[in-house]
Amino acid sequence: GAVVSQHPSRVICKSGTSVKIECRSLDFQATTMFWYRQFPKQSLMLMATSNEGSKATYEQGVEKDKFLINHASLTLSTLTVTSAHPEDSSFYICSADPGQFRLGYTFGSGTRLTVV
């Protein structure tokens, strides 16, 4: 089946540094990738939708200059958290539509970011 590989699974960084999270679709082409964030005891919240070869679409309240998304190829989307602060500590996860509607979306395994 369709697989999305997400790395790293965990990262700890110092406040003020930037962190890049990668999501790769391994056996299908993902023209669109969705990026979510989940805070404790809350639901997965859509942050942005990345589109191959064009600018990402950000949800209301998500700072596009802070969360840089690049979708340069049909199999790779990256999320860079720039100048990370402790309040950015969260669980980030990506998903993509493998193109078979009835089978749902395929998710990465998520990245736990801790900013110290």
Partner 1 sequence: ILNVEQSPQSLHVQEGDSTNFTCSFPSSNFYALHWYRWETAKSPEALFVMTLNGDEKKKGRISATLNTKEGYSYLYIKGSQPEDSATYLCAFMLGNTDKLIFGTGTRLQVFP
Where does this chain bind partner 1 (CB under 8 A)? 4, 6, 32, 34, 36, 41-46, 49, 93, 95, 97, 101-110
CB of 14 to partner 1, least distance (A): 26
CA 60 to chain CA centroid, nearest Å: 16
Nearer to partner 1, 43 or 54 (CB): 43
Half-sphere exposure for 82 (CA within 13 Å, toward CB) = 8
Q: Report the C-alpha gap between 50 and 45 in whole angstroms.
A: 15
- Residue 41 Rama label (left phi>0; alpha psi -120 to 50; beta): left
Q: Give the Å distances, CA to CA, from 52 to 36, 56, 71, 90, 115.
A: 17, 9, 5, 25, 29
Nearer to partner 1, 10 or 85 (CB): 10
CB of 19 to partner 1, least distance (A): 20
CB of 53 to partner 1, least distance (A): 17
Nearer to partner 1, 84 or 96 (CB): 96
Nearer to partner 1, 67 or 107 (CB): 107
